[in-house]
Structure 1
Amino acid sequence: MDLLKHDASPVALIGDVVRSRTRTDRQALHDELSSAIDEANRAVVSEDPLVITVGDEFQGVYASLGQALHASFVVRAVLHPRTDVRFGLGRGTVTTLDPVRGIHDGPAYWAARDAIVMVEERARKAQTRTSRTAYVGPEDAPATVAAVQSALDCLDFMVGSMSSTSREIFGGLMSGHTQHQLAERLGLSASAVSQRVRRDGIGVALEAAQRLWGLP
């Protein structure tokens, strides 16, 4: 029996800007978030594309956990370094309350809300301060959910511990840019970018992210 079922319910993604109230340039923040969401919607197939809901929160629905995670990584990469985001992902059924305005509800959203609350609580603790992503999957085996969360914790730590330049390289590679293109954009030598990919764990983080994108 598959621990992550291929015919499982969809996954809801809820995102929220970290410390958004400290930003005085509210219009600029909204524009940045809108641009990041547009990029994620172009890059990742969804059942319901990401939309901004209330304030600095956004949500969408995906057929698989991997797709939802892919979208979260795209948003995070586009917004870096000015804006940080937390993500809650939850598996379950989705109910459409208002198809015209795109208002949805149901167990997937309840699980995603529980997940984002979990992220907020863990980020307040020193040992898990880099936590930005959590998954709640009531339909999945508890051991599998724990394994997925462990992988997300490690990836969040790796990305959160990178310098701004290394995180920009990670985001660029994740978006499909080559090391040579990123070297030109950042004003670095190709060898300097290559060294960062090896030394700062960028290559490991990228491979881990790509493996997570394949989850059903």
Structure 2
Amino acid sequence: MSNLKVEPSPVALIGDIVESRTHRERQALHNAFEAAVARANAEVPIDDPAVITVGDEFQGVYPTLGAALRASFVVRTELFPRADVRFGLGRGAVTTLDPVRGIHDGPAYWAAREAITVAEDRAQRAQTRTSRTAYVAPDEAPATVAAVRAALDCLDFMVGSMSTTSREILGGLMHGHAQHDVADRVGISPSAVSQRVRRDGIGVALEAMMTLGDLP
């Protein structure tokens, strides 16, 4: 019997700015989007660097689900409060159609496209209006995919229910800044930051991001 470890298939990530066409400062939004994607590329392990495509969308390919999720966390926190982002993640094979221009296709992208539609549809329902992230993996055990989706729903709810200040604190702490530095950035005291971390679920959200970010 072979003891060779089977490496998981890569994960495609597609991100789409929510209601970007109605944004008043389109150029500023695009510039911020470029900066957010560039930061994700610099901080997260990646198979094919994320690139912005048409329609205020970006896409990239990652070696693990955790890496793809970490990239989504970076982009979302970097763009807030200017804009919010919807994400679809799909696991499967990736086919390179044009290596020069970085055009890819294949089951991972088909699954990611389906996932972003799922996230958009769920956001239209009152009970799941905070949904921003979905995961589709046809070759994985349905129970595993369901568990990941449930965790993402809970995380999206926590983040979507936070005030602007608490979400800025979450972003700062996620990027490794000390609480006193985050306090200076948002204009409140360090003790107020500590209170929000406990009261507003910031600490729970951070732990969830770390756990999800380690998924294979």
Q: Same fold (TM over 0.5)?
A: yes
Aligned residue for 1:45? 45
Query: How many angstroms apart in 2 are the aligned matches of 1:83 and 1:6?
Result: 39
Count of residues in Structure 1 that have an aligned counterpart in Structure 2:
212
Query: How many angstroms apart in 2 are the aligned matches of 1:128 and 1:55?
Result: 25
TM-score by length of 2: 0.96
Percent same amino acid among aligned pairs? 73
Aligned residue for 1:55? 55
Aligned residue for 1:7? 7
Query: How many angstroms apart in 2 are the aligned matches of 1:157 and 1:141?
Result: 25
| 1:44-193 aligned within 5 A | 44-193=44-193
- 1:87 counterpart SS class: strand
Q: Contact 1:8–1:139 at 8 Å: present in 2 too?
A: no
Q: Which amino acid aligns with 1:31?
A: N
> For structure 2, which runs of at least 5 residues remain unmatched after alignment?
none
Q: Report 1 or 2 for greater relative contact order, CA contacts < 8 Å, sequence distance ≥ 6.
A: 1
- Aligned Cα RMSD in Å? 0.9
Q: Which amino acid aligns with 1:135?
A: Y
Q: Which amino acid aligns with 1:93?
A: A
Structure 1 segments, 4+ long, off by >6 Å, are none
Query: How many angstroms apart in 1 are the aligned matches of 2:55 and 2:44?
Result: 23
Q: Contact 2:40–2:71 at 8 Å: present in 1 too?
A: yes
- 1:12 counterpart SS class: strand
Aligned residue for 2:211? 211
Q: Contact 2:89–2:111 at 8 Å: present in 1 too?
A: yes
> For structure 1, which runs of at least 5 residues remain unmatched after alignment?
none
